[in-house]
């Protein structure tokens, strides 16, 4: 009998590959800009040692593939709504700063070309972002800010639109973006610095931020042997999330509350297996570790 999962995963693995990087890609520049807590060293390494870049695993590649499908779905939704999107996946280059990009598309509004950037998101991230400032809450969403600023500069316009899609419900919302000259200048400056280092064969200083470094695809090249701490795990468990909802909404002296807490605690301890734990379940982050006596202590935080 055909193994469906194995066949699908083998097909996904054919798309996992390293691609030469000869420019500062707009989609990555936000990861380099110091003002966005980025790392210039990563930018230089991605240009000069791309052959050693950490490859995504099958699960992550499937997330990338799903993002591409979601983008196409949004474009179809716009088309069905009578909204014309031009320049879909158009390629651009800013030769002076060696910046390149692929634009999701442009909407013409009252005669003005407005660049759009489509992002599909997990429900808790989608709900988190209500205005432009909320993009600053996560490293990868901060990078989106730089990406769209480069599009605005490249198209010589002062207005763009994020179109966000909830991966779970299919709902969409928009966030307007104005050209931010200070941030745009930081993006250009970062690219200039990287270009200088690439030409000279040097590297910028290494940053010291484990939260940034642990997700960097160049970390084993930049800092081999470095301890990056406990990785955040993500679990999709609506039933367990509902149990946490109920526990947090109850009075602390209720017997049922104690019973529910015991179920939650047993689940967390079993997942941790005596080690430190960081896990994201829906809208809750659970983080904990054993104390000096071996008792597992943890906290539940809304995100």
Residue pLDDT tens, the chain, 303 long: 889 999 999 999 999 999 999 999 999 999 999 999 899 999 999 999 999 999 988 988 998 999 999 999 999 999 999 999 999 989 999 999 999 999 999 999 888 899 999 999 988 889 999 999 999 888 889 999 999 999 999 889 999 999 999 999 999 999 999 999 999 999 999 999 999 999 999 999 988 776 788 789 999 898 876 665 556 566 777 787 888 888 777 755 566 777 788 888 888 888 887 778 888 887 788 888 877 677 888 888 876
CA–CA distance, 31 with 179 (Å, rounded to integer): 19
Same domain, 191 and 251: no
Same domain, 208 and 245: no
Same domain, 33 and 115: yes
Same domain, 25 and 90: yes
Structural domains of the chain, count: 2
The answer to whether residue 168 is domain-embedded is: yes
Same domain, 35 and 114: yes
- Please give the pLDDT value at position 212: 80
Same domain, 193 and 76: yes
pTM attached to this predicted model = 0.73
Distance of alpha carbon 255 from the chain centroid: 41
Token pair 């000279």: residue: 200
Same domain, 199 and 264: no
Q: Which of 151, 178, 146 is nearest to 36 (CA)?
A: 146
The answer to whether residue 264 is domain-embedded is: yes
Range of the domain at 296: 233-302
Same domain, 82 and 191: yes
Paired residues of 91 in beta bridges: 102
- Please give the pLDDT value at position 80: 96
């Amino acid at each position: 009998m055909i193994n469906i999962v194995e066949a699908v995963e083998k097909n996904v693995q054919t798309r996992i590959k390293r691609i030469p990087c000869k420019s500062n890609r707009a989609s990555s520049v936000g990861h380099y800009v110091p003002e966005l807590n980025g790392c210039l060293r990563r930018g230089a390494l991605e240009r000069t040692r791309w052959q050693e870049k950490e490859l995504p695993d099958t699960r992550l590649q499937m997330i990338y593939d799903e993002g591409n499908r979601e983008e196409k779905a949004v474009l179809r939704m716009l088309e069905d709504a009578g909204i014309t999107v031009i320049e879909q996946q158009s390629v651009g280059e800013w030769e002076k700063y060696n910046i390149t990009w692929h634009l999701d598309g442009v909407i013409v509004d009252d005669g003005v070309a407005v660049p759009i950037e489509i992002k599909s998101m997990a429900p808790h991230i989608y709900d988190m972002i209500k205005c432009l400032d909320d993009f600053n809450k996560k490293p990868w969403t901060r990078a989106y800010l730089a990406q769209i600023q480069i599009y605005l500069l490249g198209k010589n316009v002062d207005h763009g639109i994020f179109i966000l899609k909830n991966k779970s419900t299919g709902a969409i919302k928009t966030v307007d973006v104005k050209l931010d000259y200070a941030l745009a200048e930081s993006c250009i400056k970062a690219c200039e610095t990287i270009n200088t280092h690439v030409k000279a064969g040097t590297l910028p200083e290494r940053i010291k931020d484990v939260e940034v470094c642990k997700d960097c695809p160049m970390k084993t090249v930049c800092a081999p042997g470095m301890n990056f701490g406990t990785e955040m795990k993500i679990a999709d468990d609506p039933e367990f999330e509902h149990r946490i909802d109920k526990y947090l909404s109850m009075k602390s002296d209720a017997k049922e509350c104690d019973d529910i807490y015991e179920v939650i605690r047993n689940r967390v301890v079993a997942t941790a297996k005596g080690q430190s734990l960081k896990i994201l379940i829906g809208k809750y982050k659970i983080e904990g570790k054993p104390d000096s006596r071996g008792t597992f202590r943890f906290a539940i935080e809304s995100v």
